[in-house]
Chain A
Amino acid sequence: MMSGEYSAILVLVVITNFYILNTSRYIISARAIALQGCLLSLLPLPDAFAGSPQAMFLSAGTLMVKGILMPVILIRAIRSTDEFRVAQPFLGHVASVLLGFVILVAAFWAGAAIPLPTRPHDVLMGAVGLATILTGMMIMVNRRKAVGQVIGFLILENGILILSLRISRGLPFVIEMAILFDVLLAAMIFGGFIQSVHETFSHTDVSRMRKLKG
């Protein structure tokens, strides 16, 4: 795979980030996450074609877990809570998108500073990974409902995957698989979490969890 397509994938990842920041519909966010997972599964392919069965395995695993399994769990969780209509971020959508842009600029600035051997697309990859992590964090902070936090978390995990792909090069793929399963586990827990929050308050609004105190 040429670096042109490589950067195209990373650009699309960033666009999905912005898309999620911009949309208020949880179902759409979940679909965008599925798309993002599929995009991520393409990233290890160059190594796979270069003859690395591990990379092939990683790609398939990413596709399964991030592209299919987790979005499905998420979408089911969203549907089950009947809260799939709209998100209300603390910051407005315009402000979130612009903040996301600032994060991206900062990530490009910082991404260039990661001191590791660079291939042509490494700068982009590092920056996109960082931006994705930060965007995920921002979404987690910015959303009221538990579903929003889960979405933010999944984006954050995707960012970690990109960054680890950028850094690893020799990192045992076992660790990456471990990350994948870690995420899967987290998704399950979150699914249950949404469910329980929903049942307790019939309304997955985290700001209402203050009631839990005392």
Chain B
Amino acid sequence: MTAWISEFVPALFRQWAFVLAVSPILPGVVAKTKAWVAGRQGPPVIQPYRDIVKLFQKGAAYSRTTTWIFRAGPVISFSAAMAAVLMIPIGGMEAPLTFQGDLILFAYVWGTSRFFTMTAALDTGSAFEGMGASREAVFSCLAEPALFLGLLTLAREAGSLSMSDLLSVGLIRIWSIHAPALCLVTTAFIVVFLTENSRIPIDDPNTHLELTMIHEVMVLDHSGPDLALIEYASAVKFFALGALLVRIVYPIRSGGFWAGGAVLGIGLLGLSILVGVIESTMARLRLARIPQFLAFAFVLAGFGVILTLAAA
């Protein structure tokens, strides 16, 4: 028992340290890429760290309409993000938390985070935030089936229900036999990734227009440390879902935590650049067209499932 604890606890904190240290740089890289494509200097890549630190140092303003729910929202979304990353294998080894079925918990933890973010948004009694919550509700609910079907494809290929097995070395072999299915899943996951992280073409994180945003408008009234938690949580979410994508596309062979972590980090930087390029070359979808886009992702993931099922 004590041996298990002495192994488990350091792994836990190592994972958190890595994620907390790496994740804020990713939005910074996206912003830098966008600036670079647009021919601008752009903010330094470490700007998100500065923002978070600055926000933690600030005071906060609360609306008189709000209740404890408004204050609980950021805490829950940050905790959920921190819990979810424990299921992601960083290096070539297993994640600190792994069991058969952890992929379901992984997907649902984000659901908890979303639920409380939405209720916190509605707590302000503002039409803007209601609008954001309504959009978040519908789009995330449509992205969910695509995510699950994608995970199912991977699970079927890996023969396991654990994220650590799904994203293991075995993927290399699977790529060599079932490349089409994996490509379909990757495409679907990119869509889910963009949706969940409120990126163009689903959402435009940079616009200041309350009427068109999704995620940003939900957190309009949060300030100070609460906003810092939200920003940090969304960076961690970017990391977690991004790591899922990177691990699929580039299965990490072996290596310890830090060597594998470095490879993963490089992959995530690449993903951030890719997101920056996507944001620089695509217009945002009209809101009414987003379900269509997500249905497309769902169909791709479903096709992936069919291919793996038919291959048996």
Do A and B form a real pair?
yes
Residues of A within 8 A of B (CB): 4, 7-8, 11, 14-15, 18-19, 22, 93-94, 97-98, 100-101, 104-105, 108, 112, 123-124, 127
Whether B306 contacts A98 by the Cβ 8 Å rule is no
- The answer to whether B299 and A98 have CB atoms under 8 Å apart is yes
A41 to B295, CA, bound (A): 29
User: How distant is the Cα of A15 from the Cα of B296 in the complex, in angstroms?
Assistant: 9
The smallest C-beta distance from B189 to any residue of chain A, in angstroms, reads 15
Please report B residues at the A interface, Cβ cutoff 8 Å: 176-177, 179-180, 183-184, 289, 291-292, 295-296, 298-300, 302-303, 306-307, 310
Residues of B within 8 A of A97 (CB): 292, 295-296, 299
Q: Enumerate chain B residues within 8 angstroms of A18, measured Cβ to Cβ.
A: 296, 299-300
- 12 more A-B contacts (CB under 8 A) besides A11-B180, A15-B303? A4-B177, A8-B180, A11-B183, A11-B184, A18-B299, A22-B292, A22-B295, A98-B295, A98-B298, A104-B303, A105-B306, A124-B310
A93 and B180 within 8 A (CB): no
Please, could you name 21 A-B residue pairs with CB atoms under 8 Å apart, sorted by A?
Answer: A4-B180, A7-B307, A11-B180, A11-B307, A15-B184, A15-B300, A15-B303, A18-B296, A22-B292, A93-B289, A94-B292, A94-B295, A101-B299, A104-B299, A104-B303, A105-B302, A105-B306, A108-B310, A112-B310, A124-B310, A127-B310
Query: Given the complex, which residues of B lie within 8 Å of A7, measured CB to CB?
Result: 180, 307
Contact between A108 and B306 (Cβ–Cβ < 8 Å)?
yes
Task: Note all chain B residues with C-beta closer than 8 A to A100.
Answer: 299
The one of B176, B180, B289, B306 that contacts A104, using a Cβ cutoff of 8 Å: B306
CB distance A123 to B183 under 8 Å? no
Residue of A nearest to B289 (CB): A93
Residues of the A chain whose Cβ atoms lie less than 8 Å from the Cβ of B184: 11, 15
Q: Using CB atoms, name the residue of chain A closest to B175.
A: A4
- Distance from A106 Cβ to chain B, minimum over Cβ atoms (Å): 11
In the complex, what distance in Å separates the CA atom of A94 from the CA atom of B302? 15
CA distance A85 to B23 in the complex (A): 42
A173 to chain B, nearest CB (A): 28
Inter-chain CA distance A100–B180, complex, in Å, is 19
Which residues of A sit under 8 angstroms from B303, Cβ to Cβ? 11, 14-15, 101, 104
| A123 engages B310 (CB within 8 Å) | yes
- Indicate if the CB atoms of A94 and B291 lie closer than 8 Å: yes
CA A15 to CA B304, docked complex, whole Å: 11
Please report the C-alpha to C-alpha distance between residue A15 and residue B183 in the assembled complex, in whole angstroms.
11
- Tell me the bound Cα distance from A97 to B289 in angstroms: 13
Contacts of B300 in A (CB 8 A): 15, 18
In the assembled complex, the Cα of A42 lies from the Cα of B188 at a distance in Å of: 26
Q: A101-B299, A105-B306, A123-B310 are in contact. Are A93 and B179 (CB under 8 A)?
A: no
